[in-house]
Amino acid sequence: MTYSYFYQKCVDQVKLNAREIQVAPGEPLVKQGEKAGKVVLLLKGKVKVVHHNSKGDEFIIGFFDDEELFGHLECHTGDTYAATVTCVNECKVVIMPGESYFHWFKSDAEFAMFVHKGMSKHIIKDSRRIVENNFFPLEYHILKFIIEESDDFKKDRLQFVRNELAAYTGAQLRSVNRILKSLVDDKLIEIDKDEILIMDQRELEMRFMRNL
């Protein structure tokens, strides 16, 4: 099951106030600090979720290219949005008022359970990431990024931005560049502008395991 499956079969009262639109790359879907009043359903495309601390430092929570809900947690609690969600490429989304989302959530128990499972998965993943950030070296995080973004090496090249990789790992840019250079020097990867090319999958896996 997917979010689009539930959206297609949801009651007309939900769809009546919802808008299905295309959003251009670089455009925000929700902005950190704004009062939560809408929920965004990503149907197609890729988004970046970023949190800025009080000093203005950027921390990338993650990239998402699967169907996903955004803003529903804050709508549940009445808080402001905790992060900014920005389109990486052209996205197809459904924008709905919080009231419409609540009606959907209350009227469809199967959908509510699906949302709950998704929230639980994210909480578990984020908890593990906090532990990993405290106990594993930077090389581990960069290798994990390569493995995840390549879909467990199903793709032999992946797009990346150095500043974003630094923000994602919470490390200094020079430290990230040092690790990347080490991987290039060892002929495990090549870097072509904004792409990482995987050259030695087996050794990348071995190196990742040695960091555990």
Q: Is the pTM of this model over 0.85?
A: no
Domain residue extents for the chain: 3-133, 136-210
Tell me the percentage of the chain whose pLDDT exceeds 90. Answer: 74
Spans of the chain, pLDDT less than 70: none
What's the pLDDT score for residue 71?
96
Residue 92 in tokens: 């197809």
Over its C-alpha atoms, the chain yields an Rg (Å, rounded) of 19
How far apart are alpha carbons 171 and 175 in whole angstroms?
7
Tokens (6 digits) for 20: 């299905």
Q: Tell which CATH architecture fits domain 3-133.
A: Sandwich (2.60)
Choices 1.10.10.10, 3.30.450.20, 1.20.140.10, 1.10.1740.10: CATH for 136-210? 1.10.10.10
pLDDT in tens, 79-97: 999 999 999 999 999 999 9
